[in-house]
Amino acid sequence: MVQQSVKSVRVGDSPASSAFVPGYVPGRRWLIILLSCLGGFLLTVVWSAEFVDRVIGDNVANTLLGHDVKETPIAGVAAGIMFALVSGIAGTFTACNIAVFGAMAPMLGSTGSRWTRFAQALKPLGWLSVGMIAISAVYGALVGFVGTTMPQFATSSNAPGALSARSVQSLVVFGLIGLIMFYLGLAALKVVPDPFARVSRRFPQAPMVFMGVLIGGFLIGRPFALFRQMFRDAAESHNPLYGAAAFVLQSVGNIVIMAILFLILATFAGGRLRRWIAAKPSRLTVLIAVSLIVAGVFTVLYWDVRLLARRDIIPWYPVAPWG
């Protein structure tokens, strides 16, 4: 009886405070954190930007547009809009977007019939899109207004042992996003306070809107070649409306595959997944925490530490032969 009481305290439940903190605390939280950090680190070691950006990204964009995207100038607003959407889809699996998949976990476990689960899944995706579209539109308009003087417009190569303004921007933006996601993962495990505990009482959609802001924020530091091609076109247009539209479609393209996968999972496996979570509610907490911590650690290590090694500013960072 005593052992059972101790166990219930260690893995017991409390009311959920937000979408990221379901309220069920698993045991061995520090082991979960350690293994998640290790997973994020190992992902940086095996990740190949060459394969993801060029083999996957370029080929997808070339196939969808029917021409060599890097060799063909963007001719006009209509072509630019189409290029923005396609390049966003092509960049789904780039290192910038690995954290997008971490947004799926808090949206799992819907109930009801398939159509009900489908409708329920659309709501968090909608709120995610609100935050993403807002930040993308504002940044795109800014690029259309003053983009030719921004670091991402530059075409100069990075010199060994130094960081260009473009690289510094990526380092700061992705480092900040990664730290935020890592903190949210810890909050899910109740190691640190939930930053949305109060605001979620009046606006329960706030965490998903904020996650959308983080996803849209990837554009602020993104070095993906096809994105920079779109960036330069929007900047040279000096048209804030075109810049806003192009950047919004870029972000929409980034999440469209993730959204389709999530809707399929929620619709056809949501009932089974809900029963699996209901059998041990702390499983949802583990899913959320692991996805956010892995994404956060990967983002910080890949875009900050590994970047410094690639620029010969720090002596070494472990990278797989194909990386």
User: Residue type at 134?
Assistant: A
Q: Is it the case that residue 35 has pLDDT exceeding 60?
A: yes
pLDDT, residue 257, reads 82
Max distance between CA atoms of the chain, in angstroms, equals 74
d(CA 303, CA 73): 29
The per-residue pLDDT for range 222-258, each reduced to its tens digit, is 877 788 889 999 999 999 999 999 999 999 988 888 8
Give the pLDDT confidence score for residue 44 in this predicted structure: 94
Residue 282 CB contacts under 8 Å (≥ 6 apart), including other chains: 11, 13, 24, 25, 26, 27
C-alpha closest to that of 101 among 247, 259, 249: 259
Residue 122: what pLDDT?
Answer: 81
On the question of pLDDT at 31 being above 60, the answer is yes
Alpha-carbon distance 54 to 302, whole Å? 18
Q: Tell which wins on pLDDT, 100 or 244.
A: 244
Q: Mean pLDDT throughout 273-290?
A: 84
Mean pLDDT computed over 176-182: 94
Compare 33 and 219 and report the one with higher pLDDT: 33
Mean pLDDT of the chain: 84
- Label residue 161 by pLDDT band (50, 70, 90): confident
The answer to whether 216 touches 116, Cβ cutoff 8 Å, is: no
98 vs 201 pLDDT, higher one:
201
User: Tens of pLDDT along 128-149?
Assistant: 899 999 999 999 999 999 989 9
Find which of 81-90, 108-117, 208-217 is predicted with most confidence, using mean pLDDT: 208-217
Instruction: State yes or no: pLDDT of 117 exceeds 80.
Output: no
Please, are residues 262 and 158 in contact by the beta-carbon 8 Å criterion? no
Residue type, 313: I
The residues that bridge with 49 in the sheet, in sequence order, are none
pLDDT of 293:
94
Instruction: Kindly indicate the confidence band of residue 177, based on its pLDDT and cuts at 50, 70 and 90.
Output: very high
Of 172, 163, 185, 205, residue with least CA distance to 18: 205
Would you state the pLDDT for residue 112? 59
Tokens 């959609």 belong to residue: 205
d(CA 296, CA 38): 12
Residue 24: half-sphere exposure toward Cβ, Cα within 13 Å? 13
Q: Does pLDDT of 2 surpass 50?
A: no
**CA 189 remoteness from chain centre:** 20
Q: Higher-confidence residue: 111 or 50?
A: 50
Angstrom distance (rounded) from CA 52 to CA 159: 24
Question: Encoding tokens for residue 323?
Answer: 């990386």
Residue 93 pLDDT more than 50? yes
pTM over 0.95: no
